[in-house]
Amino acid sequence: MPEPFKVNCQTEVEVKHGVGLHARPSVTFTRLAKSFPCSIEIAVNGSDVWLNGKSIIKIMGAKIRKGSILRIRADGILAEEAIRALKELIERNFDEEKKHGRTA
């Protein structure tokens, strides 16, 4: 693979969702993470413990609340794109407003 596609990168984002990463946001986050071929890990509030960002059990088990600071890192193919997509998802509050506000 050419170098631009294989990268190790990291970002930080604050969780602003009203109840943090409860069931629905956790599923949305891990589903998006799994769509990328790279490894994705998160650390919560400055912790040195990195959790598998593709594991619903790890994400829900971390009890990530509103105001938590997530460090997200990715390593491998499409890592930059994965980081960008996950950060944007969190900043959009997991698109939950759109889901509940739509008309049938």
Kindly name the residue from 7, 11, 22, 60 that is annotated as catalytic. Answer: 22
CA 73 → CA 16, 102, 103, distances in Å?
19, 33, 36
Q: Strands 39-44 and 51-52, how do they pair? A: antiparallel
| Residue 22 annotated as catalytic | yes
Q: Which residues are catalytic?
A: 22
